[in-house]
């Protein structure tokens, strides 16, 4: 396995029960939840426990790999990054979220790189998809910095907003990632 869960500033690890308090507080902020399709608002401890059980089972099944992103210098929990394997096609989907106070500091881009390497090198996929709500252009800039290219838009239901939202879909091929990494 080539997964290297550390970067210059971050450590990626499996989420644990010790993350519950800060996880619930961070994702429970409506400014965070409104940008995540399946996340209800308000968020609570019960939802976290369900997430943790599902994340463990999905990792064992080889369908989802959810990693807590923590700061190397002090262990602070910042958010999550994940890849989800699609059952019907040869791609995986990259997802991430960070607490509001950690936005704009480069953590999302930095935390996504090891997960992309994992997807391409360990899972052997040829392409990774992702997306962002069109009213969240900062997330789009993260994906652009990683080398993703726009492939279209679609509608998706957002649980916390209780409505359909427009999602900009993006794609990163293994070849594009290799070129971006070499640059």
Mind listing the pLDDT tens digit for each residue in 70-102?
Answer: 999 999 999 999 999 977 778 899 999 999 999
Q: Which domain holds residue 67?
A: 10-182
Mind listing the pLDDT tens digit for each residue in 33-61?
Answer: 999 999 999 999 999 999 999 999 999 99
Tokens of 130: 């992702």
pTM: 0.94
Q: Establish if 3 belongs to a structural domain.
A: no
- Share above pLDDT 70 across residues of the chain, in percent, rounded to a whole number: 97
User: What band does 1 get if pLDDT is binned at 50, 70 and 90?
Assistant: very low
Whether the pLDDT of residue 154 is over 50: the answer is: yes
**Ramachandran angles phi, psi of 83, nearest 5°:** -125, 140
Q: Establish if 2 belongs to a structural domain.
A: no
Tokens of 42: 């308000």
Mind listing the pLDDT tens digit for each residue in 120-144?
Answer: 999 999 999 999 999 999 999 999 9
Q: Establish if 160 belongs to a structural domain.
A: yes
Strands of the sheet with 91-98, listed across from one edge: 10-13, 64-71, 77-85, 91-98, 127-133, 163-173, 149-158
Check which CATH number belongs to the domain holding 148 and give it: 3.40.630.30
Average pLDDT in the 17-35 region? 98
At residue 182, the pLDDT reads 64
In this structure, how many other beta carbons lie within 10 angstroms of the beta carbon of residue 46? 9
**What is the total count of domains within the chain?**
1
Looking only at Cα atoms, what is the longest distance across the chain? 44
DSSP 67-132: EEEEETTT--EEEEEEEEE-SSSSEEEEEEEE-GGGTTSSHHHHHHHHHHHIIIIIS--SEEEEEE
Instruction: Name the nearest CA neighbour of 113 among 145, 161, 89.
Output: 145
């Amino acid at each position: 396995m080539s997964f290297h869960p550390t970067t210059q500033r971050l450590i990626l690890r499996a989420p644990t029960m010790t993350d519950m308090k800060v996880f619930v507080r961070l994702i429970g902020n409506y400014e965070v939840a409104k940008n995540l399709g399946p996340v209800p608002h308000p968020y609570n401890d019960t939802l976290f426990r369900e997430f943790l059980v599902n994340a463990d089972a999905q990792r064992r099944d080889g369908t989802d790999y959810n990693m807590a992103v923590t700061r190397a210098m002090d262990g602070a929990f910042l958010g999550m990054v994940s890849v989800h394997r699609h059952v019907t096609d040869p791609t995986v989907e990259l997802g991430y979220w960070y607490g509001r106070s950690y936005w704009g500091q480069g953590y999302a881009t930095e935390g996504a790189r090891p997960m992309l390497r994992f997807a391409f090198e360990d899972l052997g996929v040829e392409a990774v998809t992702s997306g962002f709500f069109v009213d969240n252009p900062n997330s789009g800039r993260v994906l652009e910095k990683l080398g993703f290219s726009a492939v279209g838009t679609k509608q998706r239901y957002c649980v916390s907003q209780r409505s359909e939202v427009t999602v900009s879909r993006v794609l990163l091929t293994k070849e594009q990632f290799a070129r971006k990494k070499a640059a």
